């Protein structure tokens, strides 16, 4: 018998997920899980299926088979806006900011969208603007933002919903070396505050530095999963992901 008083296992679980697009197998039987207070890296070459998996976890797409569980609840078919209510937030690899609104307005509107009062939303926006170094651009429209700022606004906006889990699809693309250092500190502080973070990036150095575990996808299939030390030492990773002459420290 199921004990309904037992605490739910706290984790975001992907179990046996497959997805094909007109014959292209974007994901084949992928399983992984990450927990609050953990940074979970998801890496793989272009077209490996990373964004497809984020779309499925966040409810923007449905798997052909397999399930998504959030803290023990099956959310495979739950609408994205329901998942985002305090539980799950994501960023997008491309765009998706409200371009006609300023940076501050983007964050405020998103916070109000999950039920915060205008006053609380403004206060949360000020915090996030400071956390992500967005002060100089706070009152500019998002349409005019340099790429690196756009990505950081995407992360700040996702955090405005106060999620327990956040899915970051290449949030550091376009950041310069200095900005990447600050961004890595932001990610660590999310973990320290107890968020479960899924981080996708092609910058393997950043991934090895900030992740607790790393999952490697190649052509929609799991190649390996392990700690940064295990992944760094993996010949399979170097061969399959970067080519025989490649180095993971690019």
Binding residues for ligand ATP, rule: CB under 6 A, are 21, 24, 26, 44, 46-52, 93
Toward ligand ATP, which CB reaches closer, 71 or 201? 201
Toward Mg ion, which CB reaches closer, 36 or 45? 45
DSSP run (H or E) holding 33: strand 24-34
* Minimum gap (Å) between residue 124 Cβ and ligand ATP: 29
Given a contact cutoff of 8 angstroms between Cβ atoms, the answer to whether 34 and 18 are in contact is no
Binding partner of residue 48 among Mg ion, ligand ATP, none, CB under 5 to 8 Å per kind?
ligand ATP
Task: Quickly list H helices, the chain.
Answer: 50-58, 80-83, 103-113, 118-131, 147-159, 177-192, 204-210, 228-232, 235-237
CA atoms within 13 A on the CB side of 61: 19
Q: Does 55 bind Mg ion (CB under 5 A)?
A: no
* Minimum gap (Å) between residue 43 Cβ and ligand ATP: 9
Say if residue 200 is exposed, middle or buried (CB neighbours under 10 Å; 0-12, 13-18, 19+). buried
* Minimum gap (Å) between residue 80 Cβ and ligand ATP: 16
Phi, psi torsion values for 182, nearest 5 degrees: -65, -35
Token pair 């998002």 is found at 142
- Tell me the three state secondary structure of residue 228: helix
Residue span 89-108 as binding mask against Mg ion, x where in contact by CB under 5 A, dash where not: ----x---------------
Q: Does 51 bind Mg ion (CB under 5 A)?
A: yes
# binding residues, Mg ion (CB under 5 A): 3
Toward ligand ATP, which CB reaches closer, 71 or 170? 170
* Minimum gap (Å) between residue 174 Cβ and ligand ATP: 14
Binding site for Mg ion (CB under 5 A): 50-51, 93
């Amino acid at each position: 018998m199921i004990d309904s008083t037992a605490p739910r296992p706290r984790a975001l679980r992907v179990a046996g997920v497959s997805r094909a697009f007109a014959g292209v197998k974007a994901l084949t039987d992928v399983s992984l899980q990450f927990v609050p207070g953990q940074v979970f890296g998801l890496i793989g070459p272009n077209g490996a299926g990373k964004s497809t998996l984020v779309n499925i976890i966040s409810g923007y797409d449905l798997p052909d088979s397999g399930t998504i569980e959030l803290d023990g609840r099956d959310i495979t078919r739950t609408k994205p806006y329901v998942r985002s209510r305090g539980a799950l937030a994501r960023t997008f690899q491309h765009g998706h900011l409200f371009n006609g609104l300023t940076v501050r307005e983007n964050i405020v509107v998103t916070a109000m969208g999950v039920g915060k009062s205008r006053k609380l939303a403004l206060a949360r926006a000020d915090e996030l603007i400071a956390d992500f170094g967005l002060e100089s651009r706070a009152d500019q429209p998002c349409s005019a933002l340099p790429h690196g700022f756009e990505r950081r606004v995407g992360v700040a906006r996702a955090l405005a919903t106060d999620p327990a889990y956040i899915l970051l699809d290449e949030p550091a693309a376009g950041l310069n070396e200095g900005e990447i250092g600050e961004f890595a500190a932001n990610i660590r502080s999310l973990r320290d505050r107890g968020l479960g973070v899924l981080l996708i990036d092609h910058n393997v150095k950043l991934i090895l530095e900030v992740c607790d575990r790393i999952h490697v996808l190649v052509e929609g299939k799991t190649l390996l999963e392990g700690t940064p030390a295990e992944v760094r030492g993996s010949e399979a990773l170097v061969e399959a992901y970067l080519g025989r002459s490649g180095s993971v420290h690019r």
